[in-house]
């Protein structure tokens, strides 16, 4: 009787603690089987977990909301290793302290971007920069260099002035602008490789009201001409996003038809006092009838990025997103489109629907792994970057098409990387190799030295990190 009860208890315990957990990214093409999903209730519990796992050398992948592409955030699949493999989420770390005097906010790593923006708005505070969507975990977004558009604003990570991070042995480090500012440059964009961040402090700004103006322009198949027009828009406006040109798949001709028009939006300060109305119109995210001229006014958060309600499109898409010095913009934009056109005959998979090109700009910075790091720029360059994104959107969520289009997407880096000093967006599907990474991220050796200190047994790495960053000491991470 006692034995039966014990057996039953063990089964229940196994169901509660020992069951495996399959992780997926947002569009379900990246996945891994872990031994469990761990979501500790506070920093001390995270530290305790790490201390327990260190002797076993368990694989540990800390995740945000999985809103990425490619294998950066995936765990070590437990079919590949004898050691335990865990997905760890900070979702329960929800502390929050708003310091209006110093204009800083300190928050637990569990905060999602959307919830944090709502909290700031309620306190008449705001962010300097956000991506087009707010679905990410804040630390997850910052850790890969998530950004919006603006030649005078940096990415999300550039707002970070301090953080608390646990290493593989569960030891805490506090890194901030007064206490080790140099290391802060490594930890701002840490790719999940330097430890489990439990808390962040960021600079915030007062509410900023912006006027958003959207204009429609005629497209031209003279891409050199188009590139020049585009580059001019970035000279005319500090903060602008160009959505286009757009192409539609023509089933009959098996070709991309250029849509006759595309649009761009720019943002500027305003003294407007009327009703704030940008959230009445979600075209910031390509939803609805966006190709029309309109203006709206709102707080920068709502004027420049989209709340979850505004996310209308969830078909699979393959994409590239590249950062390059803005001085090369006109020529690169033309080259990218021409090269895409040359790939079209190879886009034989069915279910192609739309191809959207998005152009943005961003101020450079000194985070070691920032895609817009200025470490290898000559003095002739301004330190502002252009961003070219191409999205190949499908009519139907079919993996064959997704992967085939993505394979073609990888060719852009080989083709243009050296020519335009191109850096890829981390957590999108365009990894460079380690040789290339070292060239574009000159501080990579310093980053890897900190990685070794934080993670001596290679518990935080996965195949992506080992291969793309060239972490050679972790080559045998599955068995060591
Ligand atoms: C539809 C869509 C739209 C997007 N739009 C934009 C955009 O406009 N601009 C832009 O720049 N990007 C954009 N992105 C990319 C997105 O912002 C990044 O991929 C971001 O990293 C996702 O955050 P996450 O928390 O969802 O990701 P996750 O993949 O879960 O995490 C990202 C990284 O952070 C690490 N991490 C998470 N939490 C911690 C922690 N507590 N401590 C240490 N490391 C941690 C993870 O290990 C991982 O390496 C978009 C992505 C999608 C899918
Ligand atoms: C991601 O990992 C999976 C599983 O190992 C692999 O099949 C796939 O090719 C990888 N993707 C990339 C882009 O490397
Ligand atoms: C606020 O700023 C002041 C002056 O720089 C500093 O002394 C103080 O420690 C800061 N407070 C916090 C909570 O960071
Ligand atoms: C920076 O970290 C140190 C060490 O923990 C701490 O004493 C100091 O208050 C922190 N500074 C700020 C501005 O938070
Ligand atoms: C755009 O094209 C339309 C129709 O082809 C034309 O009427 C209009 O004048 C053009 N606009 C510009 C700014 O060239
Ligand atoms: C807003 O008003 C102030 C004070 O009148 C003025 O200095 C400023 O130029 C105005 N800003 C804009 C964008 O109109
Ligand atoms: C927002 O309000 C302004 C001022 O009333 C108006 O001119 C504009 O057309 C409105 N925009 C939208 C998208 O409703
Ligand atoms: C995806 O498309 C390919 C090519 O048409 C087809 O062979 C495959 O069955 C499709 N997969 C699904 C799940 O529909
Ligand atoms: C690394 O990638 C770059 C850019 O795609 C390419 O030019 C180079 O040949 C690659 N190097 C190796 C060693 O694969």
Residue nearest atom 3 in ligand 8 by C-alpha distance = 400
Structure tokens at 225: 């001409």
Render pLDDT for 195-234 as a digit per residue (tens, 0 to 9). Answer: 999 999 999 999 999 999 999 999 999 999 999 999 999 9
Q: Is the CB of 395 under 6 A from ligand 8?
A: no
Q: How far is the CA of 104 from the centre of ligand 3 (A)?
A: 9
pLDDT of residue 129: 85
**What value does the mean pLDDT of the chain take?**
92
Q: Is the CB of 70 under 6 A from ligand 2?
A: yes
pLDDT at 328 over 90: yes
Render pLDDT for 219-274 as a digit per residue (tens, 0 to 9). Answer: 999 999 999 999 999 999 999 999 989 999 999 999 999 999 999 999 999 999 99
User: To test ligand 6's pocket by mutation, which of 208, 270, 271, 300 has the most ligand atoms within 8 angstroms of CB?
Assistant: 271
Ligand 3-lining residues (CB < 6 angstroms): 99, 102
How many angstroms separate the Cα of 172 from the Cα of each of 59, 166, 195, 198, 456? 19, 5, 10, 9, 15
Which ligand 7 atom lies nearest to the CA of residue 278? 13
Q: Is the CB of 146 under 6 A from ligand 1?
A: yes
Q: Is the CB of 26 under 6 A from ligand 1?
A: yes
Average pLDDT over residues 151-176: 98
User: To test ligand 2's pocket by mutation, which of 71, 432, 463 has the most ligand atoms within 8 angstroms of CB?
Assistant: 71
Ligand nearest to the CA of 104: 3
All domains in the chain, ordered by first residue: 96-207 (3.30.465.10), 209-429 (3.30.70.2520)
Q: How far is the CA of 102 from the centre of ligand 3 (A)?
A: 6
Q: What is the pTM of this model?
A: 0.94
Tokens 């439990």 -> residue = 198
Q: How far is the CA of 270 from the centre of ligand 6 (A)?
A: 7
Residue nearest atom 1 in ligand 3 by C-alpha distance = 102
- Answer yes or no: are the C-beta atoms of 43 and 199 closer than 8 Å: yes
pLDDT at 350 over 80: yes
- Answer yes or no: are the C-beta atoms of 113 and 93 closer than 8 Å: no
Q: Is the CB of 80 under 6 A from ligand 7?
A: no
Which ligand 8 atom lies nearest to the CA of residue 396? 14
CB atoms near residue 367 (< 10 Å): 26
pLDDT > 90 in the chain, percent: 85
Average pLDDT over residues 312-338: 92
- Answer yes or no: are the C-beta atoms of 190 and 369 closer than 8 Å: yes
Average pLDDT over residues 451-472: 97
Ligand nearest to the CA of 295: 7
- Alpha-carbon torsion angle 433, 439, 442, 446, nearest 10: 40
Render pLDDT for 99-121 as a digit per residue (tens, 0 to 9). Answer: 999 999 999 999 999 999 999 99
Q: How far is the CA of 271 from the centre of ligand 6 (A)?
A: 6
Q: How far is the CA of 71 from the centre of ligand 9 (A)?
A: 19
d(CA 133, CA 314): 13
Measured N-to-C along each axis, helices 329-343 and 223-236 cross at an angle, to the nearest 10 degrees, of 140
pLDDT of residue 4: 45
Render pLDDT for 375-410 as a digit per residue (tens, 0 to 9). Answer: 999 999 999 999 999 999 999 889 999 999 999 999
Confidence band (pLDDT; 50, 70, 90) for 443? very high
Q: How far is the CA of 202 from the centre of ligand 3 (A)?
A: 13
Which ligand 4 atom lies nearest to the CA of residue 162? 14
Ligand 6-lining residues (CB < 6 angstroms): 269-271
Q: Is the CB of 406 under 6 A from ligand 2?
A: no
Which ligand 9 atom lies nearest to the CA of residue 413? 5
pLDDT at 1 over 60: no
Q: How far is the CA of 277 from the centre of ligand 6 (A)?
A: 20
Ligand nearest to the CA of 209: 6
């Amino acid at each position: 009787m006692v034995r039966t009860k014990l057996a039953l208890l063990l089964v229940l315990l196994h169901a509660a603690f020992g069951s495996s957990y399959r992780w997926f990214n947002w569009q379900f093409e990246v996945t891994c089987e872990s031994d469990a999903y761990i979501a500790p209730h506070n920093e001390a519990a995270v530290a305790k977990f790490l201390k327990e796992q260190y002797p076993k050398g368990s694989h540990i992948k800390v995740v945000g909301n999985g809103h990425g592409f490619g294998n950066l955030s995936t765990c070590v699949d437990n079919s590949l290793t004898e050691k335990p493999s865990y997905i760890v989420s900070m979702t329960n770390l929800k502390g929050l302290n708003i310091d209006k005097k110093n204009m800083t906010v300190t928050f637990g790593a569990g905060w999602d971007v959307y919830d944090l923006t709502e909290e700031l708005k309620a306190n008449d505070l705001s962010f300097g920069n956000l991506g087009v969507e707010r679905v990410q975990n804040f630390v997850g977004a910052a850790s890969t260099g998530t950004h919006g558009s603006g030649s005078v604003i940096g990415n999300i990570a550039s707002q970070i002035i301090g953080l608390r991070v646990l290493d593989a042995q569960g030891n805490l480090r506090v890194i901030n602008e007064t206490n080790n500012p140099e290391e802060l440059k490594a930890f701002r964009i840490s790719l999940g490789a330097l430890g489990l961040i439990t808390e962040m402090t960021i600079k915030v700004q007062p509410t900023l009201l912006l006027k958003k103006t959207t204009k429609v322009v005629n497209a031209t198949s003279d891409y050199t001409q188009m590139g020049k027009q585009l580059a001019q828009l970035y000279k005319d406006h500090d903060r602008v996003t160009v959505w286009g040109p757009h192409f539609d798949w023509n089933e009959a001709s098996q070709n991309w038809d250029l849509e006759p028009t595309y649009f761009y939006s720019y943002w500027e300060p305003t003294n407007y006092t009327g009703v704030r109305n940008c959230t009445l119109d979600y075209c910031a995210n390509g939803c609805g009838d966006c190709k029309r001229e309109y203006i709206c006014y709102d707080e920068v958060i709502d004027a420049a990025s989209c709340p979850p309600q505004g996310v209308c499109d969830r078909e699979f898409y393959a994409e590239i997103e590249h950062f390059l010095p803005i001085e090369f913009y006109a020529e690169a934009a033309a080259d990218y489109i021409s090269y895409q056109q040359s790939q079209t005959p190879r886009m034989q998979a069915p279910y192609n629907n739309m191809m959207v090109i998005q152009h943005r700009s961003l101020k450079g910075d000194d985070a070691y792994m920032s895609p817009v790091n200025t470490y290898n720029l000559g003095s002739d360059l301004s330190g502002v970057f252009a961003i070219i994104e191409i999205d190949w959107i499908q009519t139907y969520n079919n993996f064959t098409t997704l992967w085939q289009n993505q394979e073609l997407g990888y060719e852009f880096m080989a083709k243009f990387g050296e020519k335009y000093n191109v850096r890829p967006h981390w957590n999108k599907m365009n990894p460079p190799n380690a040789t290339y990474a070292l060239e574009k991220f000159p501080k990579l050796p310093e980053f890897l030295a900190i990685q070794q200190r934080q993670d001596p047994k290679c518990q935080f790495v996965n195949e992506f990190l080992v291969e793309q960053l060239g972490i050679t000491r972790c080559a045998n991470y599955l068995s060591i």
